[in-house]
């Protein structure tokens, strides 16, 4: 779940940058709008009332900050989806004993990205041709999936190297061993840099 979240942050950052620079779609806003359209009116009313009450409690002007609060909720919701996707995929990969590979990464990226891309292209108001949006977003999601699988492979190798030790560990010579905390810090630093 942590890896999914750390990979989803730069995914959203790159989408936002492309939206600001070139007018491409920003998936978190579109998925949020799509989900809001599926919810019953009473749930939406409750959510709006709760948001207004929270803004007033914090002393913010509702008229000036409501749109920002809605956008923050959309980004937060999408981050939660990325966290959940990362956790679920790691569990499935582990239970099914799927070996890390480029194909597995592409499949995971497509499974996470295709529904979001379809929603975003269908509902988004981008002036850019849908094919360009599709190619850009699928490229990002495929990279997300390959990165997730690559990290999954590193976690498996770490667990194998810290588990039962065999006499032949020649494949570990010259490789700096990182503990889990160091690995997460390095991953977090990379995500924050992007």
- Interior CA angle at 6 toward 4 and 8, to 5°? 65
Q: What are the tens digits of pLDDT across the range 112-152?
A: 999 999 999 898 788 899 999 999 999 999 999 999 999 88
Tokens 């700096």 locate to 176
Q: How far apart are CA 121 and CA 30, in angstroms?
A: 8
Distance CA 97, CA 91 (A): 10
Task: Report the predicted TM-score, pTM, of the whole model to 2 decimal places.
Answer: 0.79
Residue 178 has pLDDT above 70, yes or no: no
Eight-class DSSP state of 172: G
What pLDDT shows up at residue 166? 47
């Amino acid at each position: 779940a942590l890896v999914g979240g750390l990979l989803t942050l730069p995914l959203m950052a790159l989408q936002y940058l492309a939206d600001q620079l070139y007018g491409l779609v920003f998936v978190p806003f579109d998925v949020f709008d799509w989900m809001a359209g599926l919810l019953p009116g009473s749930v939406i009313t409750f959510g709006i009332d709760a948001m207004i009450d929270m803004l007033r409690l914090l002393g913010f002007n509702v008229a000036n900050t409501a749109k920002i609060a809605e956008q923050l909720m959309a980004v937060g919701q999408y981050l939660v989806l990325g966290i959940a996707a990362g956790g679920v995929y790691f569990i499935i990969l582990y239970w099914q004993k799927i070996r890390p590979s480029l194909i597995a990464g592409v499949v995971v990226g497509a499974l996470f990205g295709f529904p979001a891309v379809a929603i975003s292209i269908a509902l988004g108001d981008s002036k850019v041709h849908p094919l360009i949006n599709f190619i850009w977003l699928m490229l990002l999601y495929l990279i997300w999936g390959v990165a997730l699988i690559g990290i999954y492979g590193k976690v498996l190798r770490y667990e194998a190297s810290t588990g039962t030790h065999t006499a032949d560990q020649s494949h570990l010579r010259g490789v700096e061993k990182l503990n889990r905390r160091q690995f997460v810090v390095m991953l977090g630093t990379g995500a924050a840099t992007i």
